[in-house]
């Protein structure tokens, strides 16, 4: 069997000055050094790296980042050091806490007719940004199209506070950790992906989804160790207090909505996230009054039909399928002139925001 190793080469002017720093301060292991009488090259390993420090090498000293679950005890708590050879060392958290930016509230309307560009993203998927401002980094809402056929995906997970996948057209098969064999969502169905749950997209046909992520910028990590399906079914498992949800739209029933003149189908996400968010599918059953909500984030996507969005101090917007809007708290709005086939996807954080009828 062929053995292969990779090294990162760093320069030095005097190797004997570097060895104590890399071995004692950075806790790396010396694997090789030569020549014996006047060493000019040393190879060290540790923390998943293999370094070749070479006298007179032409490379720049560069920056080395070391991530640890106890940065306060590594290198006596220093977060930035400079090695004798000039390499900058940054010490940081291995798993930093998730930071949720403060929401920058705004009234946002994003219309499909405005021709917002589709951008090629991860695994060949096409993304259309539904909230360009990201509300100050508080959330991202994307309209995603996936090319038909097998998806070149890996087992991966996201470091998020909340993540929703709602299917608005076609279907897609996905594998999830501890959820058995592949699961399919079709138009009207949704998944909630709790923070850290491993998953892999398999195959799709004509699929379009709305993906909501909180915060807007979050990390996606590949899990090279886990194979899915992983042979376990645990419907009660929680990830950071949230349960996995696979909600089938065709089996849901409609009941009262926070806005009079509408009824809604609850996707059970408010219950399964313990109030972090609620996801409702709403449709008109009468005339809606002016209302205000007292939540933090209220995002709505028009899945079918048409309506006119009226807001205090704003020109009315006639909305149709593919359009999206965000209503800030305490802003008076009204959903007017709704067509009978109107269907809205509403995502609110926290769940079930208090609403006042004006």
Class assignment of domain 251-357? mainly beta
C-alpha dihedral, 279 to 273 to 146 to 339, nearest 10°? 0
The stretch 111-121 carries a mean pLDDT of 80
C-alpha dihedral, 201 to 204 to 210 to 213, nearest 10°? 10
The topology (CATH level 3) of 110-248 is Jelly Rolls (2.60.120)
Cβ 259 vs Cβ 306: under 8 Å? no
| Fold match, 8-93 / 251-357 | no
The stretch 272-295 carries a mean pLDDT of 97
Using DSSP's 3-state secondary structure scheme, residue 254 falls into strand
**pLDDT band at residue 57 under the 50/70/90 scheme:** very high
Q: Tell me the whole-structure pTM to 2 decimals.
A: 0.89
Query: In the predicted model, what is the mean pLDDT of the chain?
Result: 95
Q: pLDDT digits over 68-101, tens only?
A: 999 999 999 999 999 999 999 999 999 888 989 9
The pLDDT of residue 258: 97
pLDDT of 124 above 80 = no
Q: pLDDT digits over 302-337, tens only?
A: 999 999 999 999 999 999 999 999 999 999 999 999
The stretch 158-177 carries a mean pLDDT of 97
Number of H helices and E strands in the chain, helices first, is 2, 32
Architecture of the structural domain at 8-93 = Roll (3.10)
Using a pLDDT cut of 70, give the percent of the chain over it. 99
DSSP for residue 205: E
Residue written as token pair 């790296």: 49
Domain ranges within the chain, ordered by starting residue: 8-93, 110-248, 251-357
């Amino acid at each position: 069997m062929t053995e292969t190793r990779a090294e990162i080469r760093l320069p030095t002017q005097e190797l004997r000055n570097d060895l104590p720093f890399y071995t004692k301060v950075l806790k790396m292991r010396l694997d090789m050094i030569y020549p014996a009488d006047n060493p000019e090259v040393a190879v060290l390993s540790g923390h998943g790296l293999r370094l070749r420090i070479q006298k007179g090498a032409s490379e720049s000293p560069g920056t080395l980042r070391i991530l640890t679950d106890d940065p306060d005890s590594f290198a006596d708590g220093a977060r930035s050091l400079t090695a004798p050879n000039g390499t900058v060392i940054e010490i940081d958290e291995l798993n930093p806490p998730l930071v949720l930016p403060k929401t920058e509230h705004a009234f946002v309307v994003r219309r499909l007719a405005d021709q917002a560009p589709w951008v090629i993203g991860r695994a060949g998927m096409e993304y259309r940004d539904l909230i360009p401002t990201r509300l100050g980094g508080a959330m991202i809402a994307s309209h995603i199209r996936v090319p038909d056929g097998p998806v070149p995906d890996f087992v991966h997970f996201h470091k998020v506070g909340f993540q929703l996948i709602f299917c608005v057209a076609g279907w897609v098969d996905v594998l999830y950790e501890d959820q058995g064999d592949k699961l399919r969502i079709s138009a009207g169905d949704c998944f909630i992906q709790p923070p850290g749950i491993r998953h892999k997209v398999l195959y799709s046909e004509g699929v379009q989804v709305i993906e909501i992520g909180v915060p807007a910028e979050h990390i996606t990590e590949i899990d090279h160790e886990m194979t899915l399906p992983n042979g376990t079914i645990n419907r009660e498992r929680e990830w950071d207090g949230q349960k996995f949800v696979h909600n089938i739209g065709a089996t849901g029933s409609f009941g009262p909505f926070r806005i009079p003149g509408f009824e809604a189908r609850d996707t059970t996400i408010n219950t399964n996230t313990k109030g972090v968010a609620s996801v409702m599918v709403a449709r008109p059953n009468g005339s809606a009054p002016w209302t205000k909500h007292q939540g933090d984030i209220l995002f709505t996507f028009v899945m079918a039909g048409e309506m006119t969005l009226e807001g205090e101090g704003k020109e009315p917007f006639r909305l149709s399928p593919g359009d999206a809007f965000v209503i800030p708290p305490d802003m008076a709005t009204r959903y007017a002139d709704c067509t009978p086939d109107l269907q809205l996807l509403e995502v609110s954080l926290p769940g079930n925001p208090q609403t006042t009828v004006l």
